[in-house]
Chains A and B, each alone.
Chain A
């Protein structure tokens, strides 16, 4: 597991600048999550660069066992996100791919040092806001009961504590606990299509626990988990509202009149 909390990459007084990797899910389905990420970061004075050539982190093929295919995509990402600026992803899972998974599949490759350097400057959204920018509380207002799903790829990283600190600090927001919170939602990338029965049973169990806590909204730092749970709930005819943590933070700013 990677180191839990890293120091800020910015010198005091330096204007933070990042490269945004929107992730393929936001590129294809969840444009509003990527928008919210940009709005929150710009509200915090971060300069956001969006490299146009970006595609995907390479995780589907990595998890699928096709490491040559995955390395091809990671190499493309290396080229696209050149430089030294931190790379920020609104997804714990894609961040973990670049921070940890890529190191595994490049173990015997000659460009391992570059992959390591990219890993060192890759950040998940909430981890970045709290630990790189030093933001500990969130302003504005968000009147809702929140069930927070800690996505599995954030195990052992700084992201879980960071997400909870931010959500808990928002006026009007109430984070409620639910059963077996540490359990996976059942998505697992290609696992969800190769093991549809186990995957959907895991998701259904998760949804039962979440519903029992009667939240207004299910929040996570990963659209893949939310796509899975949201999709299951909808298919079952009992849709639930889902939001990425960046959307919650953006909406809190809006509700508080803090965003143009």
Chain B
């Protein structure tokens, strides 16, 4: 029988990588849970509230987006709209070209991964340097992030030390502090050389036009402090209606993402540098990126747009823990990715139609999600879509259900099968005619067939 790609990826993942992904996700998940339940009477209520705030946002984008545009402009920022990833890349390039800029420093932003910005800029002769340590390592290794919060969860420090040595950042040394110091030294000087600093946005407040960024390394601060131009790349769903909504969301984000009460840096950016301010970018551009989001909004899986990219669903997910991020073959891995990636793929949905199948539907993701996204329900909807549209990847390994459904809606046929199934007891595994049963028996023993026994007993009991 053909194999599911994510199952294959998990089966061939080197043991040391699996162990490091498992151990660090487990540790973060456990700390997260303890922190939330120690500090809040009812964290589930908080998750529900946060979910309602974000649901309100995605249902009112038609009015909130023009409102935030007006506010941002009033704050002195320039606003751009990009309906596709390509349009967003072009918008960035145009801004760079207008300034004759050749060098960019980048803070961590998932949307830039999504639109493959660094790659695009490189092709146009622009150096776009990642300044988040994890993303920097991904970049020098020409690798891909395997986790949305911790891009190098799949790497150990020996691999990183080797990469640093190769890049001329010093002789081999796998001491984490040395690695961090070397990266810092290298990057410091890059901030000063850069013409443009690019960040994402964790939230944008419609009320104040403030852009909120959370980081632990302070690199986003540097990225927009030294260069003269700041570009913020923002998915259109990143809004919150009011500043005070941030109280709910920031409290949940850091705890859910990294089991911290608050990240080390939380920045509120209200526009370019003011006339009386000595430092800061003279120009600020906000590029709102759609790239498939309005189609997600129009689908029956729109709740996924509530996502605040905390990674908690990855950390708790037993499948992600076994398979790691690259198995998902897309920018967003894990449970959130299994919903979002196939949807954002648009016409290429069939290429990722297996992702929604990579779940036991255990519901752990829903239980931890700070915006209470019913991920299992959305996975089920996408399974139905995959089946309905006949995407081959969606049905690999899933036995066809037509004959079963026919039998299960005809009591006589059902009973006959129950009594007939006894034959299974006497057949060696490889002769069992149903592929699904063979796949079961490769890993687990099958209990003895006792079809109809209960019915006989029940009849007997009713007679006596």
Contact = CB atoms under 8 A, between A and B. Distances in A.
A101 B454 CA distance: 27
Interface residues of B, number: 71
Interface string A47-71: 0001011111010111111110110
Given A180-B26, A194-B396, A73 B387 contact: no
A198 B445 contact: no
Interface string B270-294: 0000000000000000000000000
B50 to A, nearest CB: 16
B143 to A, nearest CB: 23
Interface stretch (B97-105, B228-236, B376-384): B376-384
A55 B413 CA distance: 10
Contacts of B11: 197
A171 interface: no
Contacts of A192: 360, 439-440, 444
Contacts, number: 214
A26 B6 contact: no
A122 to B, nearest CB: 17
B409 A72 contact: yes
A143 interface: no
Given A73-B408, A152-B364, A104 B454 contact: no
Interface stretch (B239-247, B254-262, B398-406): B398-406
A232 interface: yes
B367 A155 contact: yes
Nearest to A105: B384
Contacts of A215: none
B457 interface: yes
A67 B380 CA distance: 10
B446 interface: yes
B404 A60 contact: yes
A228 interface: yes
A195 B364 contact: no
A28 B407 CA distance: 14
A184 B397 CA distance: 20
A193 B439 contact: yes
B444 A29 contact: no
B409 A195 contact: no
Given A193-B397, A234-B445, A184 B362 contact: yes
A contact face: mostly helix, strand, loop, or mixed: helix
B411 A202 contact: no
Contact of B458 (A50, A67, A205): A50
Interface in A190-217: 190-203, 205
A195 B383 contact: no
Contact of B409 (A52, A55, A197): A55
Given A55-B408, A190-B399, A29 B450 contact: yes
A187 B411 CA distance: 27
Category for how many chain A residues contact B: 35 or more
A232 B450 CA distance: 20
Contacts of A180: 26
Nearest to A62: B380
Given A76-B409, A180-B26, A27 B454 contact: yes
Contact of A196 (B380, B395, B442, B453): B442
A201 B444 CA distance: 11
A199 B414 CA distance: 28
A75 B409 contact: yes
Contact of B444 (A27, A194, A231): A231
A87 B8 CA distance: 40
B360 A38 contact: no
20 contacts: A28-B418, A29-B451, A50-B455, A56-B408, A58-B408, A72-B409, A73-B405, A76-B408, A155-B363, A183-B362, A184-B360, A184-B362, A194-B398, A195-B7, A197-B8, A201-B10, A227-B444, A232-B443, A232-B444, A235-B443
Given A70-B405, A191-B361, 5 more contacts: A1-B366, A64-B401, A67-B387, A192-B444, A198-B7
